[in-house]
Chains A and B, each alone.
Chain A
Amino acid sequence: MEGTNQYTVSVYTENNIGLLNRISAIFQRRHINIQSINSSISEIQGVSRFTIVVNVTETQIKKIVGQIAKQVEVIKAFYHTEDEIIYQESCIFKINSELLFEERQIQNIVKDSHARIVTVNKEFFVVEKSGRKEEIDQLFEDFKAFGIMQFSRSGRIAVTKDKLKISKLLKAFNQYE
């Protein structure tokens, strides 16, 4: 049987209500769990970009991207392997302030991990870190020993190492404007 891999899907779309639902339904219908999903503006004015991470086989990802690309308001969809992209995730921790002063180790963790302290007050301090998945996993493990009051982590955002073939697309756009 074909093994699964982690794939990152980049979808360029119109910025319309309901499109997220339409795209996520494609995964839901095939009983595929989305690892992470992010939606933002893209390098093209007025065009949104979804970044979706899933664990599936290559056969599956090809079909899924085909189904996504077929949606009327989807401009273009691509899938990438881990080697083909540069990606980042970001996370924030809320931690009891006492620890910051009492546990020397905490400050070392922050420093060594290149995390950033966003704010400190009497009760708590907030640490932010952007990086690869493993780095964030590690930081979580490091802080866990001391107690984390709150934790939140973003979806993956990614750019590809190679050029994305959207020049044709841009040409077509100019024709409409």
Chain B
Amino acid sequence: MKKAALKKDLHNKKVSQPKKNRLKPKVRISGSEAIVRCLIEEGVDILYGYPGGAIMPVYDELYKYQGKIHHVLTRHEQGATHAAQGYARISGRVGVALATSGPGATNLITGIADAQIDSTPLVCITGQVASHLLGSDAFQETDIVGISTPVTKWNHQVTRAADIPEVLAKAFYIAKSGRPGPVLIDITKDAQFEEFDFSYEKCRGIRSYTPIPEVDEQALAKAAELINKAKKPLIVWGQGVILGKAEEEFKKVIEKTGIPAAWTILGASAIPTSHPLNVGMVGMHGNYGPNVLTNDCDVLIAIGMRFDDRVTGNLASYAKQAKVIHFEIDPAEVDKNVKTDVAVIGDAKESLAKLLPLLAENAHTEWHQRFKDLYKIEYEKVIDADLNPTKSGLTMGEVLKEINICSKGDAAIVSDVGQHQMVACRYAQFTTTKSNITSGGLGTMGFALPAAIGAKMAEPDREVVAIIGDGGYQMTIQELGTIFQQKVPLKIVVLNNEFLGMVRQWQQLFFDKRYGSTEMTNPDFIKIAEGYSIEAVRVKERAELKNAVEKMMTSKNAFFLEVCVEREDNVFPMIPTGASVSEIRLD
């Protein structure tokens, strides 16, 4: 079993390894040089980080290896992890972040926690005080292995140079295999200085770890039977389709069966937004149809998603009438939140490929009509006013519409957290997979600006547009310095309502409009952008919007666009906390 799983994993990897980067083993090198050479061996071209005392030997080696590996100095270690996340999310490759001990290491934690809950492959390397000082409360000593344990897929402390190659090889293997996740490797300063005989071998497997469980053919047959018999089936897919590189298989499954398919926020872009079988987003601010009909379908087919509470609303009244099939790589996710009737544990690509021949062709025309009818209601009550507003204030939705027109849906949209995020995910038109980069599970404000840097640097040929609220923007605004120094030609859109809008919306709806600490007195964002030599435009009137977006999208350089939107707009539809998905509100 293990052997087959391993073989499969190796097959799936397709690690790009430019030959010119391959270095002949040198006999004796320092631990710090070994770290850099391990990264090069793993195909790392860019890493993000911030120097400091305990990691200085590695920075010294990075200086020597310039041209072979590009280190990007962020303005805060949190920015380094988010940039590494953006890099990983758009490319599918492992993102790498580097930091010193103590505060450098603790500053990584938010990004690591974000990567853990959103299954993003990261390798974070932290310097640590010399091993003889461990536990002595030395300067900038912190127990980062202890601190990061609950938010890493794996972590490890290295105190001997000779252990570096094997541990880093394991780190990359663990980060990217199976259900991906963040790994933190803490390396003491003496291990960085120590010399040893270096050689590198990639990790091919770990005896205690089965990244890809074998697909159970019987479960698959049962799933197919349920799907074929279903009169009102509904697919809800998540990021597992993207992480498993199963987009094509997924498309074939829905096209053969004609099953309406809805996405979780992290599943967005796996198939084009415009695909006729794509019925929209599920969850708290998702589309009306798929939410309401979750409680009407007879078979619910979940693929690579984990039934997050923001997706399910009240579990006690979630899809109770339906048989539930769960395609999932992580056995611990099965029956965690929603009891399944059939669980197909395994890799999405393999499971769906094996499922396809077992499925009967269908169209489910009448069932589709239900989605269309509900979409019409949502369009009239919500979408039309968002995208084609007639009131004076600008809406977030119309900004997205203009971006869609200019990008033709080819841009990667990196959103932060809050109202603008929901609007971005609801209205962005995606044509390409891995194009919706957002902080889903952790909901990390400040994610978007650094993540967009990582995304743009990983895929320079792609248009990357960061869409951020005025609150989240100021949480990592210092990364404008990184954009300036690295000349990252990314597009930054701040939708400014001078509020922490999502919290304000909740205060309005559930706290009798007591707007406690949500109003923002903001600085002049244009001046700030110009301080970093980034071209900046502010839009206050609808008449200026189209030209401004066009100007931004045709710019070859970094561009900052501030759109002053209506201050107290709300995001609808909305499932209030504790309510059922079918109790979704349109106003």
Contacts and interface: CB of A to CB of B under 8 A. Distances in A.
Interface of A: 13-14, 16-18, 21-22, 25, 29, 62-63, 66-67, 69-70, 72-75, 168, 171-173, 175-176
A78 B195 CA distance: 43
Contacts of A172: 1-2, 207
B208 A168 contact: no
Nearest to A21: B149
B77 to A, nearest CB: 22
Interface of B: 1-3, 145-146, 149-150, 153-157, 174, 205-209, 330-332, 334-336
A136 to B, nearest CB: 33
Contact of A69 (B3, B149, B155, B332): B332
Contacts of B208: 13-14, 72-75
Given A21-B146, A66-B336, A75-B207, A168 B153 contact: no
Given A66-B332, A172-B207, A176-B207, 5 more contacts: A14-B208, A18-B157, A70-B330, A72-B208, A72-B209
A72 B153 contact: yes
A16 B154 CA distance: 12
Contacts, number: 54
Contacts of A22: 149-150
A10 B2 CA distance: 22
A62 B146 CA distance: 26
Contact of B2 (A62, A67, A74, A175): A175
Nearest to A66: B332
B435 to A, nearest CB: 29
A48 to B, nearest CB: 11
A66 B331 contact: yes
Contacts of B331: 66, 69-70
Q: Classify the interface of chain A: helix, strand, loop or mixed.
A: helix
Nearest to A18: B145
Contacts of A75: 207-208
A42 B157 CA distance: 25
A70 B306 CA distance: 15
B142 to A, nearest CB: 15
A72 B174 contact: yes
Given A67-B332, A72-B209, A168 B145 contact: no
B204 to A, nearest CB: 9
A173 B207 contact: yes
B157 A17 contact: yes
Contacts of A73: 154, 208-209
B332 A63 contact: yes
B154 A176 contact: no
5 contacts: A14-B208, A66-B336, A70-B332, A72-B174, A172-B1
Contacts of B154: 72-73
Nearest to B205: A176
Nearest to B2: A172
A12 to B, nearest CB: 8
A62 B334 CA distance: 10
A70 B150 CA distance: 13
B367 to A, nearest CB: 33
A49 to B, nearest CB: 13
Nearest 8 CB-CB pairs, A to B?
A: A66-B332, A172-B2, A75-B208, A176-B207, A72-B154, A70-B332, A72-B209, A25-B150
B444 to A, nearest CB: 19
A25 B208 CA distance: 19
B184 to A, nearest CB: 11
Nearest to A65: B332
A73 B2 CA distance: 15
Contacts of B205: 176
B180 to A, nearest CB: 12
A129 B146 CA distance: 36
A67 B330 CA distance: 10
B78 to A, nearest CB: 22
Nearest to A70: B332
A80 B149 CA distance: 27
A172 B211 CA distance: 14
A55 B146 CA distance: 26
A37 B208 CA distance: 21
B155 A18 contact: yes
Contact of A29 (B2, B150, B157): B150
